[in-house]
Copies of this chain bind each other. A is one copy, B any other.
Amino acid sequence: MRETSSLTLVGKALSHPLRERMLWMLGEGERCGCEFAPELGVDPSIVSRYLGILERAGLLTSRREGVRVMWQLADPQLLDVLEQLGELTKEKVA
């Protein structure tokens, strides 16, 4: 591993099925971090780590609201772009 460009960071963040799923969950709107663990069936510590990875990649932003941290997509267009990326890389099977 040499350096880490921004797209590389985004790639790393997307490199995990649960993190990808978390992005889609946020497509429906802002969420409290505490909602992910039960829905994904993982420990809250993992959720916190994943959210941090997605945030540092520039995919998410957050704001604190009392004891909770609310998360949202960094940009509303984000899922559209990711969907396009999915389409363009889908094999055109015969």
Contacts and interface: CB of A to CB of B under 8 A. Distances in A.
A14 B10 contact: yes
A2 to B, nearest CB: 5
Contacts of A86: 6-7, 10
- Interface range on chain A: under 10, 10 to 19, 20 to 34, or 35 or more? 20 to 34
Contact of A14 (B8, B20, B74, B90): B8
Contact of A4 (B5, B17, B81): B17
Contacts of A17: 1-5, 8
Given A11-B20, A12-B15, 12 more contacts: A1-B17, A2-B18, A6-B89, A7-B14, A7-B82, A8-B16, A10-B86, A10-B89, A11-B12, A11-B16, A74-B88, A74-B89
